[in-house]
Amino acid sequence: MPASIHFDPTSLAKYGRLALVARQLVEGFLTGVHKSPYKGFSVEFAEHRQYYPGDEIRHIDWRAFGKTDRYFIKEYEEETNLKAHLLVDASGSMAYKGKTASKFEYAQYIAASLAYLMLHQRDAVGLALHDTKVRAMLPPKANSKHLLQILRILQEAKPGGETSMAPLWHRMADQITRRGLVIVLSDCFDDLPGLVRAIKHFRHRRHEMMLFHILAPEEIEFPFKRWTQFRNLEVAGHKLLVDPQQLRKEYRKNFDAFCKELRAQVGQAQVDYYQLRTDDPVDKALGIYLTRRHHQR
């Protein structure tokens, strides 16, 4: 087994539900991928240990068996130099909550899980929480205390304020000098050209980018039937009374066009775009992340 960062459950418990969810998610996920193609990557041999029934036979060091006539399992040590930045959108629009968790809660889980996973794999991970302003920013580090800091910040954050990410991302692209992986968790409800330019700015700085486009199913399907007053989550007092049935077609046309355009634009910038619905399991994001890492190797 590869060596991993040890998280004290008691200290994790201080960070409440989010920490527990992240741990559960990651450990469950890693157990689930026991037979997955991701095994053995990014790690180097560390030491032997005695074989116990249940260990995979392929990890048995047959050389050692030839010498000692006893079964030993090879254990590996991780080796990484990845610096990842989690950019979490905490704008008002992320507070939308339909029948599932809110988009921000969903982003919290993903961010926490990814941070946990990365640190588990001894990658350095940083966090930037923002709406129009940066609310909190942690530089990438690879120790367990750092995870606790990340979780605390995520835990305490509440979505609010307008979304105007482009200027902010430009600034951040300038600030993050060392090349790394930038993971964006956002609904991207912003001016699309500006947003794309900011993403390209990151790419210009030779950052790898993953864009998790987080959306609620209701935003995609627009299933409302009765007359509804939509109150803007970002601009106080802005509301619209409409018959959703009348508007559905027009809305979905606008929405699909936006998503399609976003996907195309960021694709052109060689940014990995993933659309996540809040009713998708959170570990889907983990899978995406690990697959991408595997392909990078």
Partner 1 sequence: MSFFNAAILIGLVAVAIPPIIHLLNRRRYDVIDWGAMQFLQISEITRRRLLIEELLLMLLRMGLIAILVFAVAAPYTDRWIPDINGRPSRDIVLVVDGSASMSFGAPGESAQKKAIDWAERFMQELHAGDTVAVIVARRDPILLVPKLTPDLEGVRKKLHGDLPPLTGGCDWPAAVKAAQRILADGQGGKRDIILLGDSQKFGLVDQTTMKGWKTTAERVQDGPPPSLWVVNVDAGRPEKAPNWSVKELVPTRNLVAVNEKVVFRSALQLNGMDEYKRPHKMKVRVNDEDVLTLDEQHEGRVDGGQVPVEFSYKFAKPGSYLVSLIVEPDPPEKERKAGYKLKDLLPADNRTDFVIEVVEAVPIVLVDGSDPDAKKRPSDFLRDNLSPAKDDTPAFLVHVVSSREFDSRHLKAGLKDVRGRILEAPRVLILANVPSLNSDQKRIVEQFVKDGGGLLVALGDKCEPESWNKLATTTGLLPAQLVHVAGEDKLEGAARPVLGGFVHPALEMFRNLKIGGLDTAWFGRWWRLTPVKSDDTVIISRLTRDEVPFLIEKKYGEGRVIVCATPLDNSWRTNLTDLVSYVPLLQELTYYLGVMRRGEMNVALDRQLLYRIPADASNEGYQLQGPLDPKPKPLTPGAIDVPEVYSARIVQYPHYNVLVHEGLNEPGVWKLITPDKQTVHYVVQGDLREFDLTPMGKEDKEKLREIVPVSFEDKPELLYEKLPEKNDFQEFWWILLLGVVVLLCGEVWFTRKIVRGRA
- Site membership for partner 1, residue 238 (CB under 8 A): yes
Q: How many chain residues touch partner 1 (CB under 8 A)? A: 35
Member of 41, 76, 251, 274 binding partner 1 (CB under 8 A):
251
Residue closer to partner 1, measured from CB, 38 or 255: 255
Asked if 78 and 121 touch (Cβ cutoff 8 Å), the reply is yes
CB of 249 to partner 1, least distance (A): 5
Residue closer to partner 1, measured from CB, 3 or 240: 240
Member of 45, 62, 65, 227 binding partner 1 (CB under 8 A):
227
Site string for partner 1, 81-100 (x = CB under 8 A): -----------xxxxx----
Asked if 98 and 66 touch (Cβ cutoff 8 Å), the reply is no
- Site membership for partner 1, residue 247 (CB under 8 A): yes
Asked if 190 and 166 touch (Cβ cutoff 8 Å), the reply is yes
| DSSP conformation letters of 105-131 | HHHHHHHHHHHHHHHHTT-EEEEEEES
- Site membership for partner 1, residue 258 (CB under 8 A): yes
CA distance 120 to 140: 14
CA distance 278 to 107: 9
Member of 63, 99, 249, 260 binding partner 1 (CB under 8 A):
249
Task: State whether residue 154 is helix, strand or coil.
Answer: helix
Site for partner 1 in 181-200 (CB under 8 A): 187, 189
- Site membership for partner 1, residue 223 (CB under 8 A): no
Task: State whether residue 242 is helix, strand or coil.
Answer: strand
Member of 143, 245, 270, 296 binding partner 1 (CB under 8 A):
245
- Site membership for partner 1, residue 229 (CB under 8 A): yes
H or E segment to which residue 43 belongs: strand 43-50
Buried b vs exposed e over 66-98: b needs ≥16 C-beta within 10 Å?
eeeeebbbbbbebeeebbbbbbbbbbbbbbbbe
Residue closer to partner 1, measured from CB, 78 or 219: 219
CB of 107 to partner 1, least distance (A): 13
Contact footprint for partner 1 (CB under 8 A): 92-96, 103, 187, 189, 219, 224, 226-235, 238, 240-243, 245-251, 254-255, 258
